[in-house]
Amino acid sequence: MKIIDGKKISSDIRLEIKTKVEKIKRTTGKTPGLATILVGQNPASQVYIKSKIKACQDAGIKSFHHNLDEKVSKEDIIALINDLNKNSDVDGILLQLPLANNEFDKDCINAINPLKDVDGLHPFNAGLLNLSKSWNEVIKKNILVSCTPLGVIDLLNKSNISIEGKTAIVIGRSNLVGKPLSILLLANNATVIMAHSKTKNLKELCINADIVVAAIGKPKFVTKDFIKEGTTVIDVGINRTSDGLCGDVDFESIRGMDINITPVPGGVGPMTITMLLENTLKAFKNRI
């Protein structure tokens, strides 16, 4: 078993980002800025936001945080977003999801200026990604892509794990992970199967795949029966259980197999925040 060390890869990329930010400051006199919006007091969301703010500080990126009451109206959230859209010091806007009232999610996301949409969830950016024919096109056009899928591709590339020609199965079809990751894998010339809760013969599909991505939100759902020797397993899940944090993959059941695997924690998670910093730099460059 070979562990794909997301912490180490993420740390290396953050050092590169810090160097890029310092160069931007020297050459333009400007500092990239990220605004975060948290609605309510969800403990998990608070932890995520604190991590993102600290990562910005470490990289030299300005951080503007806004914590709103959970009873805030949709109109007030959108009013704040509109103010941030107009603020020239803010290059990226991150609305921490889910909102206390998730009926607001879509309208609030759509209110974000697509050029500042560092989560890659605005229909404009999702459309650009969907219309891209290749990974090179995604890079060349500086498209703002959802951070977790972007982090997964970086993990594979920096671990020298080939994607081209491989069969990849993504378990999960969310707008945040499953759908954009499937498109990115396709852009990297994989043959992609998008699976979900209604997929029949899931084990059989997985065991014939070269890359298995678990993003279904069910603790230890993927077991040894899903995996063949030589597979790369990407565990996107972060589940809080009575035994602590665990992923969507039953790590212990596949211990000892000849596979590449991301651990939980320390795999995809650190890369998600790192890609948020990367997207903030993209947003800065797209606006100048």
Reported as a pLDDT band with limits 50, 70 and 90, residue 43 is confident
| pLDDT value of position 141 | 92
Give the domain ranges of the chain: 29-113, 146-269
Write the DSSP assignment of 116-152 as a string of letters.
GBTTS-SHHHHHHHHH--SHHHHHHTT----HHHHHH
CATH topology of 29-113 equal to that of 146-269? yes
pLDDT at residue 260 tops 90:
yes
Average pLDDT over residues 98-124: 93
pLDDT in tens, 246-255: 999 999 999 8
Percent over 70 (pLDDT), the chain: 100
At 244 the pLDDT is 83
Residue 186 has pLDDT above 90, yes or no: yes
Alpha carbons 284 and 288: distance in angstroms, whole number: 7
Give the pLDDT confidence score for residue 258 in this predicted structure: 96
Maximum alpha-carbon separation in the chain: 57
By the 10 Å C-beta count (0-12 exposed, 13-18 middle, 19+ buried), 46 is classed as: middle
Mean pLDDT of the chain: 95
Which are the catalytic amino acids? 52, 96, 119
Which of 149, 47, 39 has its CA nearest to residue 105?
A: 39
Of the pLDDT bands very low, low, confident and very high (cuts 50, 70, 90), residue 226 is very high
Is the model's pLDDT at 171 over the cut of 90? yes
Superfamily designation of domain 29-113: Leucine Dehydrogenase, chain A, domain 1 (3.40.50.10860)
**Could you name the CATH architecture of 146-269?**
3-Layer(aba) Sandwich (3.40)
pLDDT band at 134; cut points 50, 70, 90: very high
